[in-house]
Structure 1
């Protein structure tokens, strides 16, 4: 089975596991060459560790007999994406409205500001420009974004 097929099969199992928890959603699945499967889940109101543990157990119980990995030669980690991980999908953008983000554009330019909105096509941020910190509302199309990180503010 090719890596894309394996990921698609695991995605189907993940969707079964989280189906009764509509607050939770799949962000990404990564598989290392050693068959270390990393499943990143998030939730609209924050992912609880106890939930992630129960999802891990349920997913493992489905993966083991599935035959996706011959001889059960795999390891599984279910976690939420860390703060250092870029936002991957629209639901993550919506979850982080009101937070400070750094958006890196395809041309390498970076824009920093408060995330005001996110829809199917774009994000809207409020930048503070210049010494006087003048507010500037900026729309950025997803097609122009290389990656976006939430800024950690102390």
Structure 2
């Protein structure tokens, strides 16, 4: 059974990322002209800061320099975090998106835009925004019902504290 370069890189680099208190989310090797780019996406429950990104970047660079994992040619290493509209694929992604507005593509068809209130092992408790002056409602959504989920960008986003204060009022 052969392994791809990305799988070999994941095996090599994931322990380093984990030792920095981060999760290795993605690895991609792309060609840009004659250059190769190794993109590494990392994340954590609190979101990595710039110092953590710099530290893990130096550690990955040193490890790659002492191995031949990227071969002989020149390459660039890019280390970053998931984008604002990240795709949610792992349980931890849903936990980290608690309080965020998410667009769900449902397994049975159709879309749902709702805010994640809580996450457990079986699924999510959601707040579905009200339409045309109606109050928001809650809905339970099991993980098997979700075909795809992506965080939505909100410019006037309420934080969880504001939402709880509204509920108590």
Same fold (TM over 0.5): yes
Match of 1:32 among 30, 33, 42: 30
Which shows bigger deviation, 25-34 or 43-52?
25-34
Deviation at 1:75, TM superposition (A): 1.9
Instruction: Trace 1:112-131 onto structure 2 (pairs within 5 A).
Output: 112-131=113-132
Aligned to 1:146: 147
Aligned to 1:133: 134
Consecutive unaligned residues of structure 2, counting only runs of 5 or more, are 156-169
Deviation at 1:72, TM superposition (A): 4.3
Secondary structure at the aligned position of 2:10 is classed as: helix
Residues paired across the two proteins, number: 152
Consecutive unaligned residues of structure 1, counting only runs of 5 or more, are none
Secondary structure at the aligned position of 1:47 is classed as: coil
Could you state the TM-score of these two structures normalised by the residue count of structure 2? 0.75
Instruction: State the Cα RMSD in Å.
Output: 2.4
Using the alignment, how far apart are the partners of 2:44 and 2:9 within structure 1?
A: 19
Aligned to 1:105: 106
Q: After TM superposition, what 4+ stretches of structure 1 lie above 6 angstroms from structure 2? A: none
Could you state the TM-score of these two structures normalised by the residue count of structure 1? 0.82
Deviation at 1:111, TM superposition (A): 0.9
Aligned to 2:69: 68
Q: Mark the CA change 1:90 to 1:64 in structure 2 (over 3 Å): closer, same or farther.
A: same
If you compute each CA radius of gyration, which structure gives the higher value, 1 or 2? Answer: 2
Does residue 17 (structure 1) correspond to residue 52 (structure 2)? The answer is no
Deviation at 1:132, TM superposition (A): 4.0
Deviation at 1:81, TM superposition (A): 0.6
